[in-house]
Structure formats: C-alpha cells, structure tokens
Structure 1
C-alpha cells in the first residue's frame, strides 16, 4: 500500500484521513484519542440519512467510554458465547424448516427472501422478544435506515416508525415479562438504570444490525462458495465443526460486508502510519482493505477456506467490536453446511453481472439472489 494513511473527500465535501493498512486500522480502533461520538462537530458520517438518524438517536455504537461501556454492559450477557451457543439447536431446526419450504416451492427462487432474511430475522427476534410475524415491517424500515439512496426525511420517518413499534413491545413486556432482551431492559428501566429513549435506541440498533448484517453474509457467502466450487468441495468433504468454523472466518474476512469503514474523529493530536492527525480531524478506517492486507493475510484476494483468518477485522477491534459477533458466527456455521447438504445441486440462476448488489447501503449485500437446485 503506497499511501496507507491519506486524505479523501467525503460525500458532504469534508475531508477525512483514510486508514487502510491492517496494523494501522487496529491501532486506530484501539486508541481512545479517536472518538466514536457522532455528535462531535466534523464527525465523518456514512451519508446524509445515517447522519440524520444517528445524531438524533444515539446508541452505544456512537458513544465513548464510560457512557459506551455502561450501556453495552446492559446487554453483554445476552450475546455471550455460552448464551448464543444454547440457541444453536433452535437455529438448526429453523433453518431445516426454511429449506423444507424453500425446496418444495417453484424454481428459481430468491435465496435472500427465502433463506437469508428469515434465518437472521427469526433468530434476532427470538433473542430480543420481537414477534417474528412482524418481520416484514422491521426489515423494510431497517433497510430504509441503512440505505444510501433515500432522503434524510425518509430515513428519519422509518426510524420513528420502528421506534413506535418497539415502544409498543416494551409496553407489552411491562405487563407480561419474558426471558428475552426487551424484558431485561424494561427491568433496568424500571430500576432507573436506563431511560426510555436510550432503551428504544438500543433495541433499534440490536434489531436492525442483528438481522440485516447476518442476512447479507448468508447470501454473499453462499454466492462466494458457488463461485469457488473447489472451495465449496472442501467444505462438503469435511463439514466438521472445526472446518466449518474456519470457513466462516475466511468468508467473513473475504467479504467484509461493513464496506463503509469504521468512523472516528480525533480528540487529540496523534500520529498514525507516519501521518500527523490533528484534533478535530476525521478518520475513516477501511476494515475491508485491512482484511486484504498481504502483510496480515498472504494472497489476500484468494478465498482459501484452509486459511486461519480468525484475526480478521470484520467485526472491528477494541472496545467497539461487534457485540453480536458470537450470534452471527453460530448462524453462519449452521446455515452454510446445512444449505449445501440439503441442496447439493444449488446453483445461481442469473448471470453474476445482473445481480442487484447493495452498493450504496451501510452493509454490503444482495437485494435478491435467484437460485435453482
């Protein structure tokens, strides 16, 4: 990388330092002198719509410690490895039922709406305590919020509609608490540990990120395996838990669906990769580029399921790394081997250059993916 730290022009005309090298990206994400607080002047938002919603409705994703740590701890237990591993059998049963229905239908069929979204939406719904029958509502609003193709007023309207939907669920859980995240947060609110606005913002974050990111990875990962039949054959020949887990890590590295980078703003002068970053200057860390750094991953543009890719930065690094990564891993470890075992003749039913990719959304993915089997 000839200029691993260089200034770029943002969508709104502002400047930001783009950091692309693996070691530099880790350094930025671990440095408390670089703030995640979107309310700071000059913060490099992804686009106008994201800026409008996140500045009005902050979550721990865009807070600094100690405020960030306080809110994150409220839901950490619900996403711990031990807790999400207990969901594996239920996720497996759900994926099997989805494939039963999917394979009995007409061909070609859309993998995104038939497998990817229902898998992730049902899983996060169960964990949070959101009725799955409302999935079309919250999927459409979340899609609008993360889109780069809508006006800020439309994104804000979708955000408010989703908050009111969640407010109704919160009121219901007050009357009939259960063993789920919403009920747990309602209990904390009753004790005065969190306000209603913070609670609703947190639930919106968990619901939106929890279904959309994993759904995108399911579709893109399936596509990548279909486009690399020799790698798919390796997975088919050895579907052991260890091999599947390694394959998931490599797919996460190779695809890196968070393709707009992690955003920060300097609160003190500091140096990154030989460049001086001054207080008040914006920084964008390109974790997708870092995941293709040949110093960290030899032959980085090659999909290699034999690679040890566990040190990838797809989920970020440092205190802000993705809270839901254990859940995403379990879902992906279930769905990929099950899909190719149950549908051994699965194939793409449209030319690659005709597939509708989410090039302007916060999370990279596919709007649809026609397949046959």
Structure 2
C-alpha cells in the first residue's frame, strides 16, 4: 500500500469547513483530502473550529513560512481572536503563566534563552551513545519476549520516555503516570474539567521534583531550571510549566513518529531497504527529515493570531483574526517538494515544517531528530524481518489527540 495522487481529494464547500478535517481511510498517511484540495484551489481560506470561530487556514508552504516569521503574527493565546485547539485550552489559557508557547518577543526571547541551552546541537549530540544504549536494550528485551508484540508499548513509547526522563531528571518509574496524563491532556474528547484536573496533577508532580532539585541539584534540565529560579531569572511557576511542557512534548511526539514511521517504512519496502542497508549517518539523517515531512503528525495545526492587518496571497488577514497553519498540507505542497505525495528518503527534505518555522520553532527538534536517527538506523537493521502482524485496514488511528498516529502497532519477525 502506498499513498499516491489517486487518493481522493474531496470537494471544497462554499461555507467554511469544520477543522480539523477528516482523513481518508484509504490513504491514512496522507493529509486530509479536503485540505489538499484547499491548498490547490483556496490556499488561504477560512475554516470553522469547535467554538464556531472562523480562523484563516494557511496551507501553502511559502505562505506559512512568510507568516510564521512575520512579527505581526502572534502566539499570544490571551488575545480574544486566538483559535484555541479545544475547550480545555480555552479554559486554562487565562490561568497559564507566560511561557515560550504563548508569548512573543521580547518576553518570548527571554524565556527561550532560559531553556535553550540543554537543547542545542552540541549538547544533544552528547546523548547519542546513551540513546543508542536505550534503543539496543529495548530491542534486546523485545526480541526475548512475545512475538508478535505491540511496537508502540514495547518500544516506541519507552524510547523517548526513558530519554526525556533522563534529560529532565524525572524518575522513569513514574512513566505510567506521565504517559497516561499526557494522553488525557492532549485528547480533544476529554472533558475540560478532567483535562484541567490532570494538568494540575502533572504540575504538582513537577513542582515537587523541582523543589527536590533545588535542594539537591543533579546533572539534568530540572536542576538547571531550579538554578535559574534561585537566580531570579524565572519564576518557580514558569519553571514548573516549562517542565510539564517538555515532559509531554518530549515523549508523545517522538513515540508517534517511531510507530507511525515504522508503519510507513513497512508500507514502502523500497524506502525501508535504503535505510536498512546503509551505515551512512547522512543518509539516515535525511531519511528522518523526509519521514518528518511525509507524516507531519501534528494534526490540529499551529495556532496563531494576527496583531495587525496582513495582506497575503490576495487575502487580507485582519487584526484579531485567528490563523491556523496546517503543516501537513504545506509539507505535501508540490511547489516546495516535487512529487510530495511520494516517500523518498533520498529527497532533500530539510526545509520541511514539521517543527514549525520562525522564532517559535520547536525547542526539542534536535533531540527528536537524534532519537529518530538512532531508532531508524538500528531497529530495521537488527530486526530485518520486521513486519506488521495485522492488516493496515484493522489498525486504529488516533484522530482525537494533538498528534496523529496509531493506537497500537502489532508487529512480528
């Protein structure tokens, strides 16, 4: 099975479509058909979200890059026009401290500086050997266990959970708690009251750990945040919420990319053969970026709001208008990536927008790339007979979370 131009494109309606838009069951790895049609016919148009708001949807690669780097486009989620992902986000926004996820310069610049250090390339690269040990150990355990197995639970979730726990200084034995809590916080079907309760529990958990690190610091990110709190560079509340954000983002998205990426490789054996047959780190690194482009797992879009009128592509986005960037649509834009619907691990794919673009580009992208490089460069080589143990048609895909993936991936060898 491959995703191709034959996947249905859907019809463009007169009135704003409800966003996020549904994917095609026949082409589960492709962007929503209606989104692809909008990109071709109305690349800047309004859509309708859960609360009846009608923000602008931006689907072309070039338009997204222009707007995400435009200082008139804001990440301020207290602006009345901000297009919240769901009711929970709308409810908690007024009670959430100002972080790198909801501020603009100069406040964003200050906060980003306080947390950027542990995620720069040089420091992340030092983690390659520890990540390799984690990956090899989990593969050893998987090979010694039952066959078939759910790759998500046996491998895809433990890898980034172990890595982010080590990086942050969070006890891995608490992984059941923070994995399940993260899933509830990101699930759009969870009642706002429940999501708020879980968020508060995560914050209390990180606050307790931060207090311990401030008393007895270690070589980890929470200890660094604690030191900045003691130095007056950030508040304890800011540090706690940054820790929560890093803990959630640090394992949820990478786990999805491991499991869904493995499915994509198994559905494209020619591309899998390239990755499995090389020991060239540059080939593996490029394959990771191509898979990030091809899958682009963020399914709720990047949300922003215009602070001034912005003319672009024949449209005028008014001051106070919400904006949604559908990253998957842009990463399948044939003007940016010829034959974009085709998975090609040798394609120059570094200009993809899976991590966003501009000043708010994903803080953890270097860590995610390293983890995926180790996983993609190891798993398929060590288990060359890896295969799906259930028909693709029977797999359950997650349409309710912030990220799109499989709820389980049975594999055998």
Q: How does the TM-score come out when normalised to structure 2?
A: 0.89
SS in 2 for 1:263: strand
Q: Residue 320 of structure 1 corresponds to which residue in structure 2?
A: 360
**SS state of the match for residue 41, structure 2?**
coil
Aligned residue in 2 for 1:41 = 80
Partner of 1:159: 199
Task: Supply the distance in 2 between the matched residues of 1:272 and 1:56 (Cα, whole angstroms).
Answer: 34
Q: Note the alpha carbon deviations across 1:288-340, whole angstroms, 9 max, x for none.
A: 10000000000011001110000000011000000100000000000112111
Instruction: Indicate whether 1:128 and 2:168 are aligned.
Output: yes
Do structure 1's residue 248 and structure 2's residue 288 form an aligned pair?
yes
In the other structure, the counterpart of 1:200 is 240
8 Å CA contact 1:95–1:119 kept in 2: the answer is: yes
Distance, in Å, in 2 between the alignment partners of 1:113 and 1:368 is 8
Please give the alpha-carbon distance, in whole angstroms, between the structure 2 residues aligned to 1:64 and 1:170. 26
Shift of 1:55: 4.0
Q: Secondary structure at the match of 2:405?
A: coil
1:227 Cα offset (Å): 0.5
Q: CA deviation at 1:195?
A: 1.1
Shift of the alpha carbon at 1:49? Answer: 2.1
Deviation at 1:50, TM superposition (A): 2.9
Deviation readout 1:148-192 (Å, 9 max, x if unpaired): 110101110110000111111011112210111111111111111
Of the three residues 262, 274, 293, the one matched with 1:222 is 262
The whole-number CA distance in structure 2 between the counterparts of 1:117 and 1:40 is 35
State the Cα deviation string for residues 40-83 of structure 1 (Å, max 9, x = none).
11210111123333442243111111111111111111000000
User: Which residue matches 1:9?
Assistant: 48
Across the two proteins, how many residue pairs are aligned to each other? 373
Which residue of 2 is the match for residue 88 of structure 1?
128
Bigger shift: residues 152-161 or 167-176: 167-176
Q: State the Cα deviation string for residues 267-289 of structure 1 (Å, max 9, x = none).
A: 11111211011111111111110
CA distance in 1, matches of 2:157, 2:382: 18
Q: Which moved more, 1:314-323 or 1:185-194?
A: 185-194
Give the match's secondary structure for 1:284: strand
Unpaired segments of 5 or more residues in structure 2? Answer: 1-39
Matched residue, 1:144? 184
Moved over 6 A (4+): none
1:107 is matched with 147
Q: 1:272 aligns with which of 284, 297, 312?
A: 312
Distance 1:12 1:82 in 2: 43
Contact 2:275 2:376 in 1 (8 A): no
Greater helix fraction, Structure 1 or Structure 2: 1
Give me the whole-angstrom Cα distance separating, in 1, the residues matched to 2:341 and 2:359: 28
8 Å contact kept, 1:50–1:145: no
Matched, 1:357 2:397: yes
Is the counterpart of residue 173 in structure 1 residue 173 in structure 2?
no
Structure 1: segments with no counterpart, 5+ residues? none
CA distance in structure 1 between the partners assigned to 2:251 and 2:359 by the alignment: 22
Q: Scaled by the length of structure 1, what TM-score is found?
A: 0.98
- What RMSD, in angstroms, separates the aligned Cα atoms of the two structures? 1.0
Q: Which structure 2 residues correspond to residues 4-83 of structure 1 after superposition, within 5 A?
A: 4-58=43-97, 59-83=99-123
